[in-house]
């Protein structure tokens, strides 16, 4: 693994402030999940699908929304703008956006092949993997399913790439790298990125995608390229899942 650091400038964030930020993210996820579990019987009784769609949206919104608010507070305390923190001012935004879009599309066939290969291996080992709840929702054919598809698409294409890239690449990777551990920063943040998606079939492809995104960040020094790559990658996955009725990388 060769990742040449240096294009993304050192941020100078303190270990204490980063720890508090990550602790806040962890507490937010834990509290929202506990709240969801507590009210699960009422939710299941109120919604027709036993509350599966509501649970997915609530968990996603709590993580994405809570995380972006915590990062905004973190940057305010650091007296640092979003542009300076994540290089949004570096290069042409449109050029970086377009390049990222096509890079995400180019990465999709590779991930698709890896997912297929891993599924074959798991089947040979008699370790079949259950599709994620989100994928099942995308493949529904009942009337009104398009509403669920639209909502999931907005979160997956427009919201998740922004929040996840800022957290995993923009904050976590950069800070550990700035501490003097670039390899640990790259591999550690990539593995964590794969783990949070809770999908053993997609774990290895997601780790590789995360490492690819780190390379892009260090190459362009502008997190927009990572966000655009992530967004188009998710878009390709969603379209494939809907049209082909199969699961790739979430």
Residue 99, SS3? helix
* Span 84-125, pLDDT tens digits: 999 999 988 899 999 999 999 999 999 999 988 998 888 888
Q: Residue 204 falls within a domain, yes or no?
A: yes
Q: Residue 99 falls within a domain, yes or no?
A: yes
Residue environment code for 115-131, b if the CB has 16+ CB neighbours within 10 A, otherwise e = beebbeeeeeeeeeeee
pTM comes to 0.89
What tokens were used for 134?
Answer: 């989100």
Q: Residue 8 falls within a domain, yes or no?
A: no
**Residue at token pair 């501490």:** 179
Look at residues 101, 100, 119 and name the one whose alpha carbon lies nearest to residue 203.
Answer: 119
- Which helix (H) or strand (E) is 117 found in, with range? helix 93-124
- Per the structure, the count of domains in the chain is 1
Q: Residue 166 falls within a domain, yes or no?
A: yes
Q: Residue 7 falls within a domain, yes or no?
A: no
**Per-residue pLDDT tens digits of the chain, which is 250 residues long:** 455 555 899 999 999 999 999 999 999 999 999 999 998 888 877 776 677 788 888 888 899 999 999 999 999 999 999 999 999 999 888 999 999 999 999 999 999 999 889 988 888 887 765 555 556 555 555 545 677 788 888 999 999 999 999 999 999 999 999 999 999 999 999 999 999 988 888 899 999 999 999 999 999 999 999 999 999 999 999 888 877 765 555 5
For the four alpha carbons of 116, 131, 211 and 99, in that order, the dihedral sign comes to: positive
Residue span of the structural domain in which 92 resides: 15-244
Look at residues 204, 200, 205, 214 and name the one whose alpha carbon lies nearest to residue 234.
Answer: 205
Q: Residue 143 falls within a domain, yes or no?
A: yes
Q: Residue 185 falls within a domain, yes or no?
A: yes
Which residues contact residue 239 at a Cβ distance below 8 angstroms, ignoring those fewer than 6 apart? none
């Amino acid at each position: 693994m060769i990742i040449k650091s240096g294009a993304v400038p050192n941020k100078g964030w303190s270990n204490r402030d980063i720890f508090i930020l990550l602790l806040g993210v962890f507490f937010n996820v834990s509290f929202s999940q506990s709240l969801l579990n507590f009210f699960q019987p009422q939710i299941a009784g109120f919604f027709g699908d036993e509350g599966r769609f509501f649970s997915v949206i609530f968990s996603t919104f709590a993580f994405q929304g809570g995380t972006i608010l915590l990062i905004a507070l973190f940057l305010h305390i650091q007296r640092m703008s979003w542009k300076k923190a994540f290089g949004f001012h570096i290069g042409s935004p449109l050029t970086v956006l377009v390049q990222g879009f096509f890079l995400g599309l180019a990465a999709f066939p590779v991930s698709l092949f890896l997912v297929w290969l891993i599924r074959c291996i798991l089947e040979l080992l008699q370790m079949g993997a259950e599709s994620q709840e989100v994928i099942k929702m995308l493949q529904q054919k009942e009337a009104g399913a398009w509403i669920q598809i639209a909502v999931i698409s907005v979160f997956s294409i427009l919201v998740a790439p922004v929040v996840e890239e800022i957290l995993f690449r923009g904050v976590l990777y950069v800070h550990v790298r700035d501490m003097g551990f670039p390899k640990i920063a790259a591999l550690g943040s990539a593995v964590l990125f794969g783990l949070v998606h809770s999908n053993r079939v997609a774990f290895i492809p997601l780790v590789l995608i995360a490492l690819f995104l780190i390379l892009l960040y260090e190459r362009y020094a502008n997190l927009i390229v990572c966000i655009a790559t992530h967004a188009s990658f998710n878009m390709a996955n969603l379209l494939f899942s809907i049209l082909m009725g199969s699961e790739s990388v979430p």
